């Protein structure tokens, strides 16, 4: 149960509260020298208090920004709390950022103080010091390799702590006053948005916003001081910040820091977290590992795995949701839990997981259902840095693969006519630091935050995000056309690597498909289908049938969603080449550049809409050595079956 906040309106006040209330309970653990070392709330708060006095001694003042570059370590968190004790504002930075990327936040917030985990981070900070004249003090944790550094800016954590202990003993009242001065409306932290497209923006979040959201979510999931979390994602990311700084303070649960990024899997098994977060790519990597290891297992084990996973697929999700399941399936699932699911959860380190979240990007329904079917309560949520994460969460029993769930208490949502999602919530950010223009663009006078995400509510009132608002168009009949949503649905099939959908301003949707050469090649081999290369394989009728089948399944899905039922894919072709970042067709982060592709292959788009069943293509190709050549082929165009909205609903 989350604690009653009352007068405890800042993180330092909450920390001192836990130090009194649950002094000997574990607050933070770290695996060091192969052993899990525990700090209790009392010990941890004592360290923070001394550290805060040390920081006061070197001149950290109220409202001061303090940069931190470190992996998840107890000392990182102690440092953040210590900064907050003095009314300062921690600014965690991504520890894998290159030096030049760190310069902007430090210049922007005129940062004077920084904390660095080790020599690597110290080197980066020293490198950018000439561009950042304000940066005067760097506190480092691990002294290894730093013995010969003579820069006056450097100070060790140990020294700071020792000096802080000294001054705490001399003047214990100083810190009490400083902590008492804190207000809930003060900025508690500033997190920089990644800013792939523009310069990063510093999102200022108040104690009140963070505490409110953390508490609401904790109450919803019934988190308490017996829960355990593994802190393994970058602390500069808002999710990790919430799970390992805000929520432990409203519930008193314990966070655990892995030994090193490479040992996360083993550490997780040892700790057995009860509350877990993972972005879809992590979940996918775990599943891949499981599949690979399963293929090497003995025949009996493989057979058991196949049989019981079929049972899990049928009954697992329903059992987790508390829906009715036949007695036979229940019995089989019980056996499966003994032989397969239980051991599997144990290998994944998820034996004790009560609540697991995923968010950040669209998750494939099969991937999502896999975890739920083996009894892991994986749920989706929606949120961003600007909203202190929690906007929507799927409550237990209302979990779906393709929504983000209903809004959590306190949040108001509405949509603009362009389908942009607007949010009003106590968790909203205070401002973009030193960027009033961006602030007023994102947050209007009535306090609505413009997310830039387009979506709608499904019939059960769950939020469904489909695309960025700037990419969403409309078909000629006014139906919403969200290309990324369709493309993602297509890409969840292993045979489809990329997809590009067209339809804005047109009467129907057509698509380019890029098949996945590995998956389709493998499929062809199993059928003894000879082929000479990518282009040859892509033009096979069998492959067209395979892809059409995928598209029709997507169409059937779309038919059940009234808002976008008309954006089913009518016609498609399989491209003769792989879309490539070198040709400008993808961004470096592998997102399709739809407009560019549409212009480059305008003849193909025209043929799709002209109703032809083949199109001749000549294209310039750039080889890897820089030479260019021409290529020509006939591409087939095929129709895909579409489904009337009402009929599909009946069938489903």
Partner 1 sequence: MSEVVLSVEGVSLSFGGVKALQDVSFDVRSKEVRAIIGPNGAGKSSMLNVLNGVYHPQKGRIRFKDRTFADMDSHEAAALGIARTFQNIALFKGMSVLDNIMTGRNLKMRCNILQQALWLGPAKREELEHRRAVEEIIDFLEIQHIRRTPVGRLPYGLQKRVELGRALAAEPELLLLDEPMAGMNLEEKQDMCRFVLDVNDHFGTTLVLIEHDMGVVMDISDRVVVLDYGRKIADGVPDEIKSDQRVIDAYLGVAH
Residues that bind partner 1 (CB under 8 A): 32-35, 144-145, 147-148, 259-260, 262-263, 266
Q: Which is nearer to partner 1, 259 or 516 (CB)?
A: 259
Q: Which is nearer to partner 1, 38 or 535 (CB)?
A: 38
- Annotate 336-352 with DSSP letters as a single string: HIIIIIHHHHHHHT-TT
Q: Which is nearer to partner 1, 34 or 533 (CB)?
A: 34
Minimum CB distance to partner 1, residue 77 (Å):
20
Q: CB count, 10 Å around CB of 526?
A: 8
Q: What is the DSSP letter of 39?
A: E
Minimum CB distance to partner 1, residue 122 (Å):
14
Q: How many whole angstroms separate alpha carbon 325 and alpha carbon 418?
A: 42
Q: Regarding beta strands 65-69 and 89-93, do their DSSP bridges make them parallel or antiparallel, or are they unpaired?
A: parallel
Q: CB count, 10 Å around CB of 627?
A: 8
Q: Which is nearer to partner 1, 227 or 267 (CB)?
A: 267
Minimum CB distance to partner 1, residue 227 (Å):
26
Minimum CB distance to partner 1, residue 118 (Å):
11
Q: How many whole angstroms separate alpha carbon 239 and alpha carbon 507?
A: 41
Minimum CB distance to partner 1, residue 35 (Å):
8
Q: How many whole angstroms separate alpha carbon 193 and alpha carbon 19?
A: 33
Minimum CB distance to partner 1, residue 120 (Å):
10
Write the burial class of residue 12 (CB in 10 Å: 0-12 exposed, 13-18 middle, 19+ buried): buried
Q: How many whole angstroms separate alpha carbon 129 and alpha carbon 8?
A: 38
Q: Which is nearer to partner 1, 32 or 158 (CB)?
A: 32
Q: How many whole angstroms separate alpha carbon 197 and alpha carbon 599?
A: 22
Minimum CB distance to partner 1, residue 258 (Å):
9
Minimum CB distance to partner 1, residue 94 (Å):
20
Minimum CB distance to partner 1, residue 210 (Å):
32
CB contact at 8 A, 594 and 575: no
Minimum CB distance to partner 1, residue 34 (Å):
5
Q: Which is nearer to partner 1, 134 or 263 (CB)?
A: 263
Q: How many whole angstroms separate alpha carbon 105 and alpha carbon 115?
A: 14
CB contact at 8 A, 464 and 457: yes
Q: Which is nearer to partner 1, 5 or 265 (CB)?
A: 265
Q: Which is nearer to partner 1, 118 or 431 (CB)?
A: 118
CB contact at 8 A, 102 and 93: yes
Q: Which is nearer to partner 1, 148 or 299 (CB)?
A: 148
**CA distances (Å), origin 184, targets 84, 191, 501:** 12, 18, 47
- Annotate 280-304 with DSSP letters as a single string: HHHHHHHHHHHHHHHHTS-HHHHHH
Q: How many whole angstroms separate alpha carbon 56 and alpha carbon 85?
A: 10
Report residue 271 as tokens: 């700790």
First to last CA, the chain: 39
Angle at 37 between CA 36 and CA 38, to 5 degrees: 115
Minimum CB distance to partner 1, residue 255 (Å):
19
Q: How many whole angstroms separate alpha carbon 263 and alpha carbon 349?
A: 12
Q: How many whole angstroms separate alpha carbon 68 and alpha carbon 97?
A: 12
Helix 327-336 vs helix 299-311: angle between axes, to the nearest 10 degrees?
140
Q: CB under 8 Å to 234, separation ≥6 — which residues?
A: 94, 95, 96, 240
Minimum CB distance to partner 1, residue 410 (Å):
42
Q: Which is nearer to partner 1, 116 or 482 (CB)?
A: 116
Q: Which is nearer to partner 1, 142 or 227 (CB)?
A: 142
Q: Which is nearer to partner 1, 147 or 150 (CB)?
A: 147
């Amino acid at each position: 149960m989350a604690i009653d906040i009352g007068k405890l309106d800042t993180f330092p006040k909450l920390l001192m509260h836990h130090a009194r209330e649950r002094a000997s309970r574990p607050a933070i653990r770290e695996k060091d020298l192969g052993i899990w070392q525990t700090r209790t709330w009392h010990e941890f708060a004592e360290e923070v208090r001394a550290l805060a006095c040390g920081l006061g001694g070197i001149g950290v003042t109220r409202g001061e920004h303090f940069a931190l570059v470190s992996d998840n370590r107890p000392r990182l968190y102690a440092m953040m709390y210590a900064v907050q004790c003095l009314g300062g504002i921690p600014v965690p930075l991504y520890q894998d950022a290159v030096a030049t990327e760190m310069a902007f936040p430090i210049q922007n917030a005129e940062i004077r103080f920084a904390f660095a985990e080790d020599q690597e981070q110290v080197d980066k900070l020293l490198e950018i010091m000439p561009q950042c004249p304000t940066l005067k003090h760097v506190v480092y944790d691990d002294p290894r390799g730093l013995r010969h550094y003579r820069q006056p800016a450097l100070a060790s954590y140990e020294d700071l702590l020792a000096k802080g202990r000294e001054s705490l003993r001399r003047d214990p009242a100083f810190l009490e006053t400083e902590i008492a001065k804190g207000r809930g409306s003060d900025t508690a932290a500033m997190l920089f948005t990644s800013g792939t497209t523009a310069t990063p923006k510093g999102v200022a979040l108040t104690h009140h916003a963070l505490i409110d959201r953390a508490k609401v979510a904790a109450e919803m999931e019934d988190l308490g001081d017996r829960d355990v979390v593994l802190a393994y994602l970058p602390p500069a990311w808002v999710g990790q910040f919430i799970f390992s700084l805000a929520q432990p303070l409203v519930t008193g649960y314990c966070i655990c820091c892995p030994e090193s990024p490479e040992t996360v899997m083993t550490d997780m098994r040892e700790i057995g977290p009860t509350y877990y977060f993972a972005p879809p790519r992590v979940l996918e990597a775990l599943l891949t590992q499981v599949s690979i290891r399963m293929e090497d297992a003995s025949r009996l084990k493989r057979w058991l795995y196949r049989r019981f996973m079929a049972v899990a697929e049928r009954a697992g999700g329903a059992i987790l949701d508390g829906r009715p399941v036949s007695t036979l399936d229940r019995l089989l699932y019980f056996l499966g839990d003994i032989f397969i699911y239980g051991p599997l959860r144990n290998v994944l380190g998820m034996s004790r997981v009560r609540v697991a979240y995923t968010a950040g990007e669209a998750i494939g329904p099969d991937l999502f259902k896999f975890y739920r079917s083996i009894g892991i309560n994986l749920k989706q949520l929606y949120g961003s840095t600007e909203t202190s994460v929690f906007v929507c969460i799927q409550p237990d029993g209302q979990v779906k693969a393709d929504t983000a769930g209903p809004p959590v208490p306190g949040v108001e949502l509405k949509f603009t006519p362009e389908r942009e999602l607007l949010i009003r919530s106590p968790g909203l950010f205070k401002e973009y630091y030193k960027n009033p223009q961006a602030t007023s663009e994102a947050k209007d006078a009535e306090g609505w935050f413009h997310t830039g995400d387009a979506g709608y509510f499904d019939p059960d009132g769950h939020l469904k995000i489909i695309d960025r608002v700037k990419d969403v168009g409309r078909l000629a009949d006014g139906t919403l056309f969200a290309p990324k949503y369709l493309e993602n649905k297509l890409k969840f099939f292993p045979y489809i690597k990329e997809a590009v959908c067209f339809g804005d301003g047109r009467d129907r949707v057509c698509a380019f498909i890029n098949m996945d050469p590995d998956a389709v090649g493998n499929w062809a081999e199993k059928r003894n289908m000879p082929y000479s290369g990518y282009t040859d394989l892509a033009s096979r009728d069998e492959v067209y049938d395979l892809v059409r089948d995928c598209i029709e399944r997507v169409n059937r899905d779309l038919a059940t969603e009234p808002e976008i039922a008309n954006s089913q894919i009518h016609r498609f072709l399989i491209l003769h080449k792989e879309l490539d970042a070198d040709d400008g067709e993808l961004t470096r982060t592998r997102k399709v550049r739809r407009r560019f592709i549409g212009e480059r292959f305008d003849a193909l788009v025209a043929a799709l809409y002209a109703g032809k069943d083949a199109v001749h293509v000549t294209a310039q190709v750039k080889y890897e050595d820089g030479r260019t050549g021409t290529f020509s082929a006939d591409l087939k165009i095929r129709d895909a079956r579409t489904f009337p909205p009402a009929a599909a609903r009946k069938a489903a």
